[in-house]
Chains A and B, each alone.
Chain A
Amino acid sequence: MTGLCVLLVDDEREFTTALTKVLRRRGFEVTVAEGGEAALERIAERSFDAVVLDVKMPGRDGLDVLSEIKQRSPATEVILLTGHRSVVDERDGLRTGAAAYLLKPHPIPDLVARIEAAAVRSRAARGGGGA
């Protein structure tokens, strides 16, 4: 399955750059946002199949952005990826509708597999079979 649209939201530019390369090579269409506000702008412009969302960010934080996304487009799957483990964040994130709460550094093959699974689920939920 190709043409899955992924939005990466993280203030660590080196990380998003590297992950973008890896995902694009695997056929994903990748958009990057460096913070919460930027992420919401991108989502307003178009729809994504999956969002990879950092939790701790300057400005609007990940959980905030997550609830906003879930309000606007409940079908969009969101994976929380954070360097800071917090039991409270994990609980709140999953309750708000996150597909997973992963701790950095998460093994890349598993991360890619989860993103793909989430994106496929999302696209199916929105009633399509493909782009």
Chain B
Amino acid sequence: MPGHPAGDYRRLRRSLVLRMALVSVIPLLVVSAANSWLFFRLNRAIVVDQHALSLRHQREALEQFLAAREAELRAITERYTVAELRGGELDRVFRVIRQQPEVLSDIGVIDSRGDHVQYVGPFDLAGRNYRDAPWFAEVVERGVYVSDVFLGYRGVPHFVIAVLRREAGDFWILRATVSADYFERLVNVSRSGRTGETFIVNEAGLYQTKGAHGRLLEPAGLGKPAWHEGTRVGEEEIGGTRYLVTTTWLGHPRWLLVYRQELGDVFAPLFDASLLGIGIWLLGAVGAVVLALAVARRQVRRIRQADQEKDAMAQRLVATGRVAAVGEMSAGLAHEINNPLATIDTLRTWIQDLGGARSIPEEDRQEILESAGKIGEQVARCKVITQGLLKFSRRVDAQPERIDVEAFLGELCAVARARARVDGVALDTEFDKLPPFECTPAHLQQIVMNVVNNALDATAGRPGARVVVSSRLEGGRVVLRVRDNGPGIPRENLTRIFQPFFTTKPVGRGTGLGLAICYGLVQELGGTIAVDSAAGGGTTFTIALPQRAPDAGRSTP
């Protein structure tokens, strides 16, 4: 059958799969990317908001804590006189306000000369003089003071809250130390993730609480922080690691509350979600590709089927046109022969006219008249042929006979082999033993010889040229095959080879009628002829004939 090379369909399927996969995967990719981006932005905004909010709450809590301590001290200075405190009341008061666990680690009264006149606490600080300590001047000036963390006389990091009380033209100061441990716990409560930490630095950028990894009074890696309003969130790189840093300033003292977390840690849940997203996307992409494969396969199968139907239809159309064309060709041929026949017959009459002359010896006269008569017989015979040709496509004149296929084809191939030898082509036969079948010998001969001659033309002079003629019984039909290893027939010619006057042979070599006549004859015999060929792959003609000749009167309209 004429067909498209399988490679065409493979290419078509590949390009279909590619296009469909791209068409489905690319939008999927774009949407997923856009989704991820939006999701990431949203998530980041939420995280930043959360950090800012929780830090603001913590700042308020710390401010309240400091304010409460200050208020407590203020209340004590207003409730008690310095004399009462020095007289033993400080002990009692401290036991009440220190709370459990320890919020304040000690408390003391300092007079206007800077002497530590009364002290309750674990250190030996009574009698020390603070006139020259920076906080002393500060508290004298402002009435209240919260210090940065410092070592002081005790050599342990701490900070103090001091309140000034004016009494009878003099003043005294009540000073309490906030427990560093307690304050540390208070600050570093909001730890989230693996690396989240909250800590405080002073204006110089030194740790006031140590957070998760810091050391008190050492630089926190934030430089000397600038003052800003409200809460600020930003990314910072410290020692090769990127952090999300949230900061807010306390009012008094000038401390910066910092929440710091590694970026990777902050967005770890997001990355986990992204991983899941990528997995889902991959699944979708694989699904799209599988779907594309399935759809492409089905489409190509449909196209292939449509092509085959189209080819078959083209062949049928060609066949109808071909039979008419063969009839026309036969008529033209008959005309060409009829004219010389008329001349021959007229000349025969002339010879008969002259042959009767008495001048010719009796013996010769008989010969001449007899020969002229025989010429007349031969002309009449030729006329039968030409008349038959004129009716060629309408009626089978020849009578079917019972044919021994093997013997019949054997003879034909013997004749063809003579030519094959000259062309350097090996002509082989593969005949099955078949029962005799009914066929018109002249037609069969013409069919086989036309196809074999074409095969010889196609292979002549090619290295390893071979033509195989075979016969066998297939599905109740006598099937003859002529197979060659020639260059094959290009696809575009396959539907045209049975058309009259189509030839690829050099001018003068082919008439373009051989296969057209074959097709007409095979039809007359009630059979089919088909060609199977691929450019470069050799050609096989398959002629299938019924075992019984069709009823001549009904074979064709």
> Do A84 and B331 touch (CB < 8 A)?
yes
Complex Cα distance, B343 from A15, in Å, reads: 4
Q: How distant is the Cα of A107 from the Cα of B341 in the complex, in angstroms?
A: 11
> In the complex, what residues of A have CB within 8 A of residue B4's CB?
none
Contacting pair A18 B347 (CB below 8 A):
yes
CB-defined contacts of A21 to chain B, threshold 8 Å? 350, 353
Q: Could you mark each residue 64-97 of chain A with 1 if its beta carbon is under 8 Å from any beta carbon of chain B, else 0?
A: 0000000000000000010111000000000000
Listed stretches A27-35, A36-44, A98-106; interface member:
A98-106
Contact with A along B303-344 (1 / 0, CB 8 A): 000000000000000000000000000011011111111111
Find the A residue at minimum CB distance from B339: A83
Whether the Cβ atoms of B346 and A18 lie closer than 8 Å is yes
Within 8 A of B (CB), among A3-17: 12, 14-15
Give the contacting residue for A18; candidates B337, B338, B341, B343; CB below 8 A: B343
Distance of A108 Cα from B348 Cα, bound (Å): 9
Pairwise interchain contact A83-B335, C-beta atoms closer than 8 A: yes
Evaluate contact between A22 and B343: CB separation under 8 angstroms. no
B379 at the interface (CB under 8 A from A): yes
Cβ contacts under 8 Å, B337 to chain A: 83
Decide if B350 touches A22 in the complex (CB within 8 Å): yes
Contacts of A105 in B (CB 8 A): 338, 341-342, 344-346, 379, 383
Q: Is B469 on the interface with A (CB-CB < 8 A)?
A: no
Task: Write the nearest CB–CB distance from A62 to chain B, whole angstroms.
Answer: 13
Given contacts A105-B379, A105-B383, contact A15 B350 (CB under 8 A): no
Chain A, residue nearest B345 (CB): A105
In the complex, are the beta carbons of A107 and B335 less than 8 A apart? Answer: no
Known: A18-B350, A22-B350, A105-B379. A84 touches B345 (CB 8 A): no
* Distance A85 CA – B388 CA, assembled complex (angstroms): 12
- Identity of the chain B residue whose Cβ is nearest the Cβ of A14 in the assembled complex: B343
Residues of B within 8 A of A81 (CB): 342
Most buried by B among A15, A83, A105: A105
Indicate if A114 sits at the interface (CB-CB under 8 A). no
Alpha-carbon distance between A56 and B334 when the two chains are bound, in angstroms: 14
Q: Is there a chain A Cβ closer than 8 Å to B390's Cβ? A: yes
A25 beta carbon closer than 8 Å to chain B? yes
Q: Which residues of B from 168 to 216 have beta carbons under 8 Å from A? A: none
Q: Count residues of A near B (Cβ-Cβ below 8 Å).
A: 20
Restricting to B343-383, which residues have a CB under 8 Å from any CB of A?
343-350, 353, 379, 383
Within 8 Å CB of A19, what residues of B? 346
Cα(A56)–Cα(B331), bound, Å? 13
A12 near B343 with CB under 8 A, answer yes
- Name the B residues within 8 Å of A85 (CB-CB): 331, 334, 390
Name the B residues within 8 Å of A103 (CB-CB): 338
Q: Which residue of B lies closest to A15 (CB)?
A: B343
Provide the bound-state CA to CA distance between A85 and B332, in Å. Answer: 9
> Min CB distance, A116 to chain B, in Å?
15
Bound complex: CA A22 to CA B342 (Å):
13
| Smallest beta-carbon distance B556→chain A, Å | 18
Most buried by A among B348, B349, B353: B349
Contact of B339 among A12, A22, A25, A107 (CB under 8 A): A12
Residue from A56, A83, A106, A107 whose CB has the most chain B CB atoms within 10 Å: A83
**Interface set, chain B 249-285, CB cutoff 8 A to A:** none
Closest to A104 in B: B342
Most chain A beta carbons < 10 A, residue from B335, B339, B390:
B339
Q: Which chain B residue shows the least CB distance to A81?
A: B342
Q: How far is the CA of A29 from the CA of B531 in the complex (A)?
A: 61
State which residues 443-475 of B face A: CB under 8 Å: none
Establish whether residues B338 and A108, one from each chain, have CB atoms under 8 Å apart when the complex forms: no
B150, chain A: closest CB distance, angstroms: 131
Whole-angstrom distance between the Cβ of B356 and the nearest chain A Cβ: 11
Query: Which residues of chain A have C-beta atoms less than 8 A from B348's C-beta?
Result: 108
Docked-complex contact B350 and A83, CB < 8 angstroms = no
Whole-angstrom distance between the alpha carbons of A54 and B345 in the complex? 16
Q: A12: nearest residue on chain B (CB-CB)?
A: B339
Q: Which residues of A contact B336 (CB under 8 A)?
A: 83
Q: Which of B338, B340, B343, B349 contacts A84 (CB 8 A)?
A: B338
Q: A41 to B344, alpha carbons, bound, how many Å?
A: 29
Q: Is the CB of B349 within 8 A of A22?
A: yes
Complex Cα–Cα for A18 and B345 (A): 9
Bound together, the chains give a CA A103 to CA B349 distance in angstroms of 17
A15–B338 alpha-carbon span in the complex (Å): 11
**Closest B residue by C-beta to A85:** B390
| B345: contacting residue among A12, A25, A56, A108, CB under 8 A | A108
User: A83 vs B342: C-alpha distance in the bound complex, in angstroms?
Assistant: 8
Partner of A104 from B332, B341, B349, B350 at Cβ < 8 Å: B341
List residues of chain A with CB within 8 A of the CB of B383: 105
CA gap between A85 and B339 in the complex, in Å? 12
Which of B334, B342, B353 gathers most chain A CB within 10 Å? B342
Q: Which residues of chain A are near B338, meaning CB under 8 Å?
A: 83-84, 103-105
Instruction: List, in ascending order, chain A residues with CB within 8 A of B334's CB.
Output: 83-85
Contact assessment for B331 and A107 in the assembled complex, using a CB-CB cutoff below 8 Å = no
Q: Tell me which of A12, A25, A56, A109 contacts B342 (CB under 8 A).
A: A12
* Known A14-B343, A105-B342, A109-B349; further 11 A-B contacts with Cβ < 8 A: A15-B342, A15-B346, A18-B347, A19-B346, A21-B353, A22-B349, A56-B335, A85-B334, A85-B390, A107-B345, A108-B346
- Residues of A at the B interface (CB closer than 8 Å) are 12, 14-15, 18-19, 21-22, 25, 56, 81, 83-85, 103-109
10 smallest beta-carbon distances between A and B, as pairs: A83-B338, A104-B342, A18-B346, A84-B335, A108-B349, A105-B342, A105-B341, A15-B343, A105-B345, A83-B339
**Selected A-B contacts with CB under 8 Å, 5 pairs:** A14-B343, A22-B353, A25-B350, A85-B331, A85-B390
